């Protein structure tokens, strides 16, 4: 996986390379403050301690602005940062931009997807076309299968 950097909440910059975490969980979602995206963010929030205990650091990413992200993060009390990708550079790197049907119209948007990246920058697991309801459990179940201290 090629390195990338992007602006994120908390007045920080995300850099893929050099992450100290055993695993980086990047979840791509379509839009702040929409029902599915709100549920997904709350699920990651509610299982944050379990994810952290398994050596994972979670980041949400969408095309929304930092201002929108800061509001969304504050409103939901998210304990993780949100990455802003308004020019779709990171979305394109992960190939999550897809044509979707919305109310009978074709629109280009983010396909809900999650990637687990190891400390060496390698994608070790990916989910595409994610269904929100049991998704965080799938991520947890995967991380539980990884040997302690795996890189």
Contact 94, 62 (CB under 8 A): no
Q: In the annotation, is 91 catalytic?
A: no
Contact 55, 22 (CB under 8 A): yes
**Non-local CB neighbours of 50 within 8 Å, separated by 6+ positions:** 140
Residue recorded with tokens 């931009």: 97
Catalytic, out of 37, 82, 83, 90: 37
Q: Which residues belong to the active site?
A: 37
């Amino acid at each position: 996986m090629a390195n990338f950097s992007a602006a994120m909440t908390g007045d920080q910059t995300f850099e893929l390379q050099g992450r100290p975490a055993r695993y980086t969980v990047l979840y791509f979602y379509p839009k702040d403050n929409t029902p599915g995206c709100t549920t997904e963010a709350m699920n990651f929030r509610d299982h944050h301690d379990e994810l952290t205990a398994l050596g994972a650091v979670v980041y949400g990413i969408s095309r929304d602005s930092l201002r929108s992200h800061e509001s969304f993060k504050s409103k939901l009390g998210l304990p993780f940062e949100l990455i802003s990708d308004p020019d779709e550079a990171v979305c394109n790197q992960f190939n999550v931009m897809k044509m979707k049907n919305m109310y009978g119209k074709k629109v280009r948007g983010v396909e809900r997807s999650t990637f687990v990246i190891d400390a060496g920058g390698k994608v070790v697991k990916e989910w595409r076309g994610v269904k929100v309801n049991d998704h965080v459990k799938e991520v947890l179940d995967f991380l539980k299968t990884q040997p302690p201290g795996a890189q």
